[in-house]
A and B are shown apart, each in its own frame.
Chain A
């Protein structure tokens, strides 16, 4: 049976493009519902869950299979971590969850802990992949 690598490669490219289209549209749909329609989360939690599952699977898989540029990730973290923290606080503020200084500090600490846990998980997955293929320095 013919197993043509060109066809396999084309299918992979097309499916990844389809994934990107769906992913962007899903994100646009979430933003539209959240910020334009002002719907509460309980009205579209199913889309959020699907989006989170897809994002988590993609991110975890990339780190677990070493499909990341280590140097770029380090550089990227320098601006993405503060951006995530600020975004987290801004979203909490606009949703009316921040009324006191204590709420603000809790939001920052909560965001920082979340990002740190995510970073540790991704670092652990990447190190595990390095040890598996034995290319660690």
Chain B
């Protein structure tokens, strides 16, 4: 879960966006982006797609859980 969150954060930083800017693009509040990055909120598929689109990434890039992560 933590790794998944890091992927979103990494992609956001790579895109040179702040949480507020990403939140505006995805149509949610900044707090929600913060919680997703911290692994404290499970976004819906619709929101995952909005975030992926805003960061110009695929769902796999941002939210795919690797086998090792799953086992932990």
Please tell me if B29 contacts chain A, counting CB pairs below 8 Å. Answer: yes
Of B28, B43, B46, the contact of A2 (CB 8 Å cutoff): B28
Please tell me if B35 contacts chain A, counting CB pairs below 8 Å. Answer: yes
Chain A residues near B44 (CB, 8 Å)? Answer: 5
Interface residues in B16-72 (C-beta closer than 8 Å to A): 27-29, 31-32, 35, 41, 43-44, 46-47
- What is the total number of residues of chain B having a CB less than 8 Å from a CB of chain A? 11
- What is the total number of residues of chain A having a CB less than 8 Å from a CB of chain B? 6
One digit per residue, 1 when the CB lies within 8 angstroms of any chain B CB and 0 when it does not, for chain A 1-37 equals: 0111111000000000000000000000000000000
Chain B residues near A3 (CB, 8 Å)? Answer: 27
Give bound CA distance, A6 to B29, whole Å: 9
Contact between A6 and B41, CB atoms less than 8 A apart: yes
Instruction: Specify the main secondary structure of chain B where it touches its partner.
Output: loop
Give bound CA distance, A2 to B47, whole Å: 12
Chain B residues near A6 (CB, 8 Å)? Answer: 28-29, 31-32, 35, 41
Give bound CA distance, A4 to B29, whole Å: 6
Contact between A7 and B43, CB atoms less than 8 A apart: no
Complex: chain A residue closest to B31, CB-CB: A6
Chain A residues near B27 (CB, 8 Å)? Answer: 2-4
Chain B residues near A7 (CB, 8 Å)? Answer: 29, 32
Which of A2, A3, A6, A7 has most chain B Cβ within 10 Å? Answer: A6
Give bound CA distance, A4 to B46, whole Å: 12
CB<8 Å pairs between A and B, sample of 22: A2-B27, A2-B28, A2-B29, A3-B27, A4-B27, A4-B28, A4-B29, A4-B32, A5-B28, A5-B32, A5-B43, A5-B44, A5-B46, A5-B47, A6-B28, A6-B29, A6-B31, A6-B32, A6-B35, A6-B41, A7-B29, A7-B32
> A: which residues have CB within 8 A of B?
2-7
